Structure 1
Amino acid sequence: MTTLLQLDSSPLGANSASRALTAAIAQTLKTTGQVDNVVYRDLSVDPISHLDGALLSAMRPAEGATTPESVKGELALNDTLIDELFAADVIVIGAPMYNFSIPTQLKAWIDRVAQAGRTFRYTATGPEGLVTGKRAIIASSRGGVYAGSQMETALDHQEAYLKGVLGFIGITDVKVIRAEGLGMGPEARQKAMDAAIAQSQELTA
């Protein structure tokens, strides 16, 4: 059985462009037989709390330290999120650009799954990603136009960051389905969404 992990992070619900793209991508993957099972996590409707001092200390315990009861549930959530990541063959990530980066909801998920000794490890020759043999598809939405421009180099801390994080943990097969210029008027938005949806329908294994 081939499993898709589908992540949405936009809080805009039915008005979200990135959610429309993740839905289209997931539909294509299912109808073309590339995935059989879908694990869906809505990071906005069911948000993951950000790291705090108590949780970080429990995730990196000092020798002989005991785990406080107050963080055991959060540690169990970490295990669940990492298990979902390893169990997936394809990961689809809905990632709108917010202030040149990603939504805080998605960053919280990344902070839980990017863990030394679990999804990557340090070696004598440098870090090594442990989440291998998978592919990822980023459903990217942006109000402005960045791809191929000087603004991409200076201000894209969204797609570039996600590719960097995914590659760091071992996922190097990454494709971007992008709708940008969404804030440039209704006509530009419709044109960008139509093109991105069409691109999602061309996905092949």
Structure 2
Amino acid sequence: MNILHIDSAITGDASVSRKLTADIVARLKAANPDATTTYRDLNKGVPAIDTAWFQAVRVAPESPTEAQQALIDVSDAYLKEVQDADVLVIGLPVYNFTLTAQLKNWLDQISRAGVSFRYTEAGPEGLLKGKRAIIAYAAAGTPFGSDLDHASGYLRHMLGFLGITDVTFVPADRLAFDRDAGLARAQEALEQIAA
């Protein structure tokens, strides 16, 4: 089993999503001692896509310039980590009712027509099939799955668009109102995950 462990919280050691992703990975590794883990902290920075990225990565010139190749290499590195993974463990802290900018940038980097998805006569088809995603959702005030939650549904949709449809959430929500209850809900969900 290859695990891709992704964090994106900006709150450092105080992060609930970081603690949850670590707990999820530990649970997976306890049940699968030979599992390997690749760790990616998106808080260290993920380049946003722009016109230069589009020209380099999506238009894909036959002879990219050095600057274009550097952009391609960054996107390829993110994508290869996902392609090589059997399980993605993703920290989803909710800021201002949605996912972090870093996590959105990462999704943009790995969403590559013809590589991670393709368009067919029947509609789009995700090409990253056969993977599982476990999402550690943490929010101070946004109830998981509510009309205010613009994070979990979007992430589930994007993963499904890329072919990852086996998605489980471990939600620690409403932490600002009752932290203990929110953490207890997350622990209960964590214990339901089949490692």
Shorter chain as denominator, the TM-score bin is over 0.9
Asked if 2 retains the 8 angstrom alpha-carbon contact of 1:22 and 1:93, the reply is yes
- For residues 34 and 5 of structure 1, the distance between their equivalents in structure 2, rounded to whole angstroms, comes to 15
The Cα shift of 1:48 comes to 1.2
Counterpart secondary structure, 2:115: coil
Counterpart secondary structure, 2:133: strand
Q: Equivalent residues in 2 for 1:117-196 (5 A)? A: 117-147=114-144, 152-153=146-147, 155-184=148-177, 188-196=178-186
Counterpart secondary structure, 1:201: helix
Asked if 1 retains the 8 angstrom alpha-carbon contact of 2:173 and 2:182, the reply is yes
Q: Which runs of 5+ in 2 are unaligned?
A: none
Query: Identity over the aligned pairs, expressed in percent?
Result: 40
Report which structure shows greater RCO (CA 8 Å, sep ≥6).
1
**How many residues are paired up?**
195
Q: Equivalent residues in 2 for 1:104-115 (5 A)? A: 104-115=101-112
- 1:78-122 per-residue CA deviation (whole Å, 9 max, x = no partner) reads 111111101100001101111111000101100000111000000
- 1:63-83 per-residue CA deviation (whole Å, 9 max, x = no partner) reads x67423223222111111111
- For residues 35 and 43 of structure 1, the distance between their equivalents in structure 2, rounded to whole angstroms, comes to 25
Asked if 1 retains the 8 angstrom alpha-carbon contact of 2:134 and 2:169, the reply is yes
- 1:153-201 per-residue CA deviation (whole Å, 9 max, x = no partner) reads 3x221000000000001011000000001112xxx11231133134323
Per the alignment, do residues 9 and 35 of structure 1 end up closer, same or farther by CA in structure 2, a change over 3 Å counting?
Answer: farther
Asked if 2 retains the 8 angstrom alpha-carbon contact of 1:6 and 1:93, the reply is yes
Asked if 1 retains the 8 angstrom alpha-carbon contact of 2:94 and 2:142, the reply is no
Match of 1:98 in 2: 95
TM-score by length of 1: 0.89
Asked if 2 retains the 8 angstrom alpha-carbon contact of 1:51 and 1:111, the reply is yes
Asked if 2 retains the 8 angstrom alpha-carbon contact of 1:29 and 1:203, the reply is no
Per the alignment, do residues 35 and 122 of structure 1 end up closer, same or farther by CA in structure 2, a change over 3 Å counting?
Answer: farther
Asked if 1 retains the 8 angstrom alpha-carbon contact of 2:129 and 2:163, the reply is yes
Query: Structure 1 runs of 4+ off > 6 angstroms?
Result: none
Counterpart secondary structure, 1:117: coil
Match of 1:37 in 2: 36
Name which of structure 1's ranges 66-75 and 173-182 shifts more when overlaid on structure 2: 66-75
Match of 1:58 in 2: 56
TM-score by length of 2: 0.93
Counterpart secondary structure, 2:181: helix
The Cα shift of 1:146 comes to 2.2
State the one-letter code of the partner of 2:160. G
Q: Which runs of 5+ in 1 are unaligned?
A: none
